[in-house]
Chains A and B, each alone.
Chain A
Amino acid sequence: MRSNVTEYDLVAPTTLDAALQILADSPDPYTPIAGGTELMVALGAGRLQPRKLISLWNLEELRFIEVSGDAITIGAGSTFTDIRNHPVITEEFPLLTQAASWTGSIANQNRATIGGNIVNASPAADNPPALLAYDAELTIVSSSEERTLPYRDFHLSYKKVDLAPNELLQSITILRNFESYKTYIRKVGTRNAQAISKVAIAALARLKKGSIEDIRIGAASLREVPTRLPLTEQSLLNKRVTPETIAAARAALISESKPIDDIRSTAKYRTAIAAKLLEEFLQSL
């Protein structure tokens, strides 16, 4: 059943400050909408609950990619096309370019924003595993305050994030120090194009004299939120890649995975495949 669009209000401030002021002044919360690739689907299907929306689409203070000597900062309103087209991201953050490329079709990538993908907080989202592997930092703003927090602390529980109704995700910052890392990313879904993943892993590791000196593994659809795999990482630190360490890492992954059965896959399949992806990554080191 289609929604009745006359029941919805949408405001479109032209600056970030104006948007934050509207959020600060409103007694009941607004729901931000950027590219609309999630919320407009709900509207079309007659299940969009929020009635008051605020458009963040194309606010120039949110749509930028800024490169400094030691970091890159991506405005939350940057689209996946913006991300795929950026030469420094292509060169230094291949996990992010790859994840952006399989976030829906070209038409969706022209609209969908990285901020929306993060805040929407789907455990199956394409980009969070890469952002977790790069240990991204988020900058969150309100009319009165700006704060930063590690992205790994942002997802609190299923679809709950550390973001107050008067706050907006402003940008994502990643340090430019991954030159010496080996990277791995793989998504498993029903088909290559467009399908939402059954399970996905993005990972980085740096070796020193044959043993793993640093490792970060981000995963989608293994828990109720996009997650790092700390026990698995711990099991591999300062180890050489041997059949024994691979077996221990697989066991750690299985112990810290709590996937669900849903229309896209089963918990059993997700865990089994995630362990295989981990093994593929470790074999590549």
Chain B
Amino acid sequence: MTQSTLTINGHAKTIEAPPMKRLLDVLREDLHLTGAKEGCGEGECGACAILLNGDLVNSCLIPVLQAEGAEITTIEGLAIDKKLHPIQQCFLENGGAQCGICTPGMILATHHLLDKHPQPTLLQIQEGLSGNLCRCTGYMRIFNAVEAAALTGAAK
């Protein structure tokens, strides 16, 4: 067991865990943050995506020891004062979420995309979300949600 200190959604947390424990499992089991989902467990589907020091990453592929000292944002940290984040609101209004399994990762990938490209082209949206698989929506409604979020200036 090793001790790691992480800042999760603005709060410092100290975790005792085996150093190779996947960050996804630490979030879900030790911190009870179940927003990040396990889909494929091999970095293909993006259901476990989070922001680590501002970078979009798949938390199923990160040993917790490598997150020592990191600032982590999960979907639970995105809403501000119990109000939906503008990206969440746009997904809601545009039917960008159906069963919901991919949605936390989609929304964090959108956040990361709009951070880099506040007014993305459709191609940039497609590439930015290409690591997040959705089996419900057919993606068009998700792209619409991202375009709507860009119009609100959601990245800020």
Residues of A within 8 A of B (CB): 5-6, 8-12, 33, 35-37, 40-41, 43-45, 53, 55, 57-58, 81, 104-108, 110-111, 192-194
Contacts and interface: CB of A to CB of B under 8 A. Distances in A.
B22 interface: yes
Given A8-B18, A40-B22, A55-B63, A105 B130 contact: yes
A104 B43 CA distance: 9
B57 interface: yes
Given A5-B21, A43-B22, A10 B65 contact: yes
A10 B21 CA distance: 10
Interface residues of B, number: 31
B111 to A, nearest CB: 12
Contacts of A11: 19
A107 B57 contact: yes
Nearest to B131: A105
Contact of B131 (A8, A55, A193): A193
A36 B60 CA distance: 9
A82 to B, nearest CB: 11
A9 B58 CA distance: 21
B41 A44 contact: yes
Nearest to B17: A5
A33 B113 CA distance: 27
Interface centre among B19, B60, B68, B128 (most CB of A within 10 A): B19
12 contacts: A8-B18, A12-B19, A36-B61, A37-B43, A55-B63, A104-B43, A105-B43, A105-B132, A108-B61, A108-B131, A193-B127, A194-B130
B56 interface: yes
B46 A36 contact: no
Contacts of B142: none
B20 A8 contact: yes
Nearest to A192: B130
Contacts of B65: 10, 12, 55
A105 B39 CA distance: 15
Nearest to A42: B42
B20 A106 contact: no
Contacts of B109: 106-107
Contacts of A45: 41-42
Contacts of A8: 18-20
Interface centre among A5, A55, A104 (most CB of B within 10 A): A5
B46 A105 contact: yes
B18 A40 contact: no
Nearest to B70: A58
B14 interface: no
A98 B61 CA distance: 24
B112 interface: yes
Contacts of A40: 22, 43, 60-63
Interface string B109-129: 100110000000000000110
B49 interface: yes
B66 interface: yes
B55 interface: yes
Given A11-B19, A43-B20, A104-B131, 5 more contacts: A105-B131, A106-B56, A108-B61, A111-B58, A194-B44
